[in-house]
Amino acid sequence: MQLSRDQLRAAYQRMCLIRNFEDSLHEEFSAGNIPGFVHLYAGEEASGVGVCMHLDDRDAIASTHRGHGHCIAKGCDPRAMMLEIFGKKDGLCGGKGGSMHIADLSKGMMGANGIVGGGPPLVCGAALTAKTLKTGGVAIAFVGDGASNQGTTFESYNLAKVWNLPAVFVVEDNRYAESTASAWSVGGNQVDRAKGFGMPAQEVDGHDFFAVWEAARQAIERARAGEGPSLLHVKLNRYYGHFEGDAITYKGEGEIEQVKTEKDALMLFKQRVTETKLLDSEELTVIEEEAKAAIADCLASAKAGALPTEADLMTDVYVDYKF
Q: Could you state, in order of their start, the residue ranges of all structural domains in the chain?
A: 5-312
Please check whether residue 206 is in contact with residue 212, taking contact to mean a CB–CB distance below 8 angstroms. yes
d(CA 86, CA 76): 16
Residues 66-113: pLDDT tens digits?
Answer: 999 999 999 999 999 999 999 999 999 999 999 999 999 999 999 999
Q: What is the mean pLDDT of residues 161-165?
A: 97
What mean pLDDT, rounded, does the chain reach?
A: 94
pLDDT of residue 188: 67
- Helix boundaries (H) for the chain: 5-30, 45-52, 68-73, 78-85, 119-133, 151-162, 182-185, 190-196, 209-224, 255-262, 265-275, 281-304
Cβ atoms 214, 278 nearer than 8 A: no
Which pLDDT score, from 0 to 100, does residue 187 have?
59
Among residues 50, 91, 93, which one has the least CA distance to residue 73?
50
pLDDT for 181 equals: 83
Stated length of the chain: 323
Angle, CA of 275, 276 and 280, to the nearest 5°: 70
Q: Using DSSP bridges, classify how beta strands 176-177 and 167-173 pair: parallel, antiparallel or unpaired.
A: unpaired
This prediction has a pTM of 0.95
Q: What CATH number should be reported for the domain whose range is 5-312?
A: 3.40.50.970
pLDDT of residue 186: 62
CA–CA separation, 194 vs 189, rounded Å?
9
Query: For position 323, what pLDDT does the model report?
Result: 58
- Locate all alpha helices (DSSP H) within 197-254, ordered by sequence: 209-224
Instruction: Provide the residue type at 289 as one letter.
Output: E
Q: What whole-number percentage of the chain has pLDDT above 70? A: 98
Residue-wise pLDDT tens digits, 33-69: 999 889 999 999 999 999 999 999 999 999 999 999 9
Q: What angle do CA 116, 119, 120 make, to 5 degrees?
A: 110
